């Protein structure tokens, strides 16, 4: 997808966090209106709507795609589709919107991602998210996602080396980054020492994962507007989708090497190849740090470090702010928050702002290429996107 690319031309983004008093519908309407206002277009110009929403019983709304129409009367009678692919539901919606434009079925597409999670207890959310695991194996069905990624961290320790110190650096980094993001769920600095020490305030959640290794249960929504090449030039800002790749892997973790992260590796490399760029061309990346061990494994899947040596991306400062390839300047899922259906759209909305020179939070001066990687489950549904700023 290196010629006549689909473009992101506008975005909207709510604050992430515990948003008491706001319903799923409220969040969807808010960001849809923000995106339409950002694009300075009439809602009647939208050709199709795609909504990313996982739900899994966290809210009673099981048929929410048409809730987007509450944002503007002119959206009524537009085709609207809900996309679900676990924690990658937002990227599933965005990729569906891209395909609608490439097929010629649409020229302007509104993509929304939303989730309302905090009305549930932690135990209820944990059970809901566990539904994205393999249910036809008694042992796997009994695992929560903290436990699944705890297994990954324990296997990493056994096969390579203890990853806990590197995971603590990731947690501290992402919390520091989130301090600069006004939309982030948590604005609280966490030191390496705090994150690397088991304590009453940082207990073990699923051995060896500590509380500081786990992403947040959040409410929130984000939206982007996609445009065809013919329409994109009419907008004041344009970020081109230069390459995309979706790769799905087997659901049962017993049937694959979960440390290999083959789905993420194939998705990221496929998107880079489609864009005609390499890792060295990128200026930043937003990746799926649902747990700190996931970000560490993603460094290796990206090729920033050899297998078992993801810590080198941290030790050498590559992924830190000001480094060669800063990762999760937004604060990531770890501190920005993880309203699961919104996450993929949020990543693209913030990357859009970064590439148009209007970052929300930490910025990368003159950034031209950015990578977004969003996954569902234990590296099962993997979506990678390479974005490029339009240069006059």
Sequence ranges of the domains in the chain: 7-120+217-232
Tell me if residue 290 is catalytic. Answer: no
Residue among 13, 283, 338, 348 flagged as catalytic: 338
CB 48 within 8 A of CB 334: no
pLDDT above 70 for 371: yes
Beta strands in the chain (DSSP E): 7-13, 48-52, 80-83, 108-115, 204-206, 209-210, 220-227, 239-248, 284-286, 369-376, 381-389
The residue-averaged pLDDT of 227-236 equals: 96
CA 205 remoteness from chain centre: 23
What's domain 7-120+217-232's superfamily in CATH?
A: Thiolase/Chalcone synthase (3.40.47.10)
> Do residues 234 and 1 make contact, with C-beta atoms less than 8 angstroms apart?
no
Which of 174, 178, 130 has its CA nearest to residue 314?
174
Coil vs helix vs strand at 12: strand
Alpha-carbon distance 185 to 194, whole Å? Answer: 19
Neighbours of 196 (CB within 10 A): 18
Confidence of residue 392 (pLDDT cuts 50, 70, 90): low
Decide if pLDDT at 58 tops 90: yes
Question: Is 92 in contact with 347 (CB distance < 8 Å)?
Answer: no
When pLDDT is cut at 50, 70 and 90, the band that residue 390 belongs to is confident
Q: Is 262 exposed, middle or buried (0-12, 13-18, 19+ CB in 10 A)?
A: middle
- In this predicted structure, the answer to whether residue 276 has a pLDDT above a threshold of 70 is yes
Mean pLDDT across 345-350: 98
Does the pLDDT value for residue 325 go beyond 80?
yes
Nearest CA among 164, 185, 188 for reference residue 176 = 188
Q: Which is the catalytic residue, given 87, 195, 214, 290?
A: 87
Q: What is the pLDDT of residue 307?
A: 98
| 183-197 average pLDDT score | 98
Q: What is the average pLDDT across 282-294?
A: 98
Which among 376, 150, 345 is positioned nearest to 263, based on CA atoms?
A: 376
**Whole-number average pLDDT of the chain:** 97
pLDDT of 1 strictly over 90: no
At 31 the pLDDT is 98
Q: How far apart are CA 137 and CA 148, in angstroms?
A: 14
- pLDDT bin (cut points 50, 70, 90) of residue 2 is very low
- Mean pLDDT within 119-126: 95
Residue range 330-345: mean pLDDT, rounded: 98
Helix/strand/coil percent split, the chain, to 5: 40, 20, 40
Q: pLDDT by residue (tens digit) across 26-44?
A: 999 999 999 999 999 999 9
- Average pLDDT for 80-101: 98
CA proximity to 31, closest of 337, 350, 335: 350
Whether the pLDDT of residue 346 is over 50: the answer is yes
In the predicted model, what is the mean pLDDT of residues 251-279? 98
158 exposure class (CB count in 10 Å sphere: 0-12, 13-18, 19+):
exposed
Nearest to 49 by CA among 32, 73, 25: 32
pLDDT at 364: 97
Segment 374-386 mean pLDDT? 98
Residue 87 falls in the annotated catalytic set: yes
For 154-187, what is each residue's pLDDT tens digit?
A: 999 999 999 999 999 999 999 999 999 999 999 9
Q: How far is CA 259 from CA 114, 126, 295, 330, in A?
A: 30, 22, 12, 25
């Amino acid at each position: 997808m290196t010629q006549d690319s689909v473009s992101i031309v506008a975005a909207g983004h709510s604050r992430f966090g515990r948003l008491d008093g706001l319903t799923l519908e409220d969040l969807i309407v808010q960001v849809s209106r923000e995106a339409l206002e950002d694009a300075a277009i009439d809602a009647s110009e939208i050709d199709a709507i795609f909504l990313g929403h996982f739900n899994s019983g966290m809210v009673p709304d099981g048929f929410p795609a048409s809730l987007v129409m509450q944002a503007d009367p002119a959206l009524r009678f537009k085709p609207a589709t809900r996309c679900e692919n676990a924690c990658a539901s937002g990227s599933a919606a965005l990729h569906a919107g891209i395909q609608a434009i490439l097929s010629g079925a649409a020229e302007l597409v509104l993509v929304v991602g939303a989730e309302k999670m905090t009305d549930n207890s932690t135990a209820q959310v944990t059970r809901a998210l566990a539904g994205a695991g393999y249910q036809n194996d008694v042992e796997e069905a009994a695992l929560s996602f903290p436990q699944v990624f705890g297994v990954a961290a324990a296997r990493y320790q056994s096969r390579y080396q203890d990853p806990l110190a590197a995971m603590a650096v990731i947690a501290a980094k992402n919390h520091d980054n989130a301090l600069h993001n006004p939309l982030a769920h948590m604005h609280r600095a966490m030191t390496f020492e705090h994150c690397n020490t088991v304590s009453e305030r940082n207990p073990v959640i699923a051995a060896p994962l500590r509380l500081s290794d786990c992403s947040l249960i959040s409410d929130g929504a984000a939206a982007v507007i996609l445009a065809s090449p013919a329409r994109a030039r009419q907008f004041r800002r344009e970020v081109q989708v230069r390459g995309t790749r979706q790769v799905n892997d087997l659901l049962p973790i017993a049937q694959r090497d979960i440390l290999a992260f083959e789905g993420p590796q194939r998705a990221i490399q496929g998107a880079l190849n489609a864009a005609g760029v390499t890792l060295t061309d990128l200026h930043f990346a937003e990746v799926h740090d649902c747990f700190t061990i996931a970000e560490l494994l993603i460094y290796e899947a990206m090729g920033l470090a050899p297998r078992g040596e993801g810590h080198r991306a941290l030790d050498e400062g590559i992924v830190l702010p000001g480094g060669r390839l800063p990762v999760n300047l937004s604060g990531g899922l770890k501190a920005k928050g993880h309203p699961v259906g919104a996450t993929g759209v949020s990543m693209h909305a913030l990357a859009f702002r970064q590439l148009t020179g209007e970052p929300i939070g930490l910025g990368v001066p003159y950034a031209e290429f950015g990578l977004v990687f969003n996954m569902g489950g234990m590296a099962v549904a993997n979506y990678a996107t390479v974005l490029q700023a339009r240069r006059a």
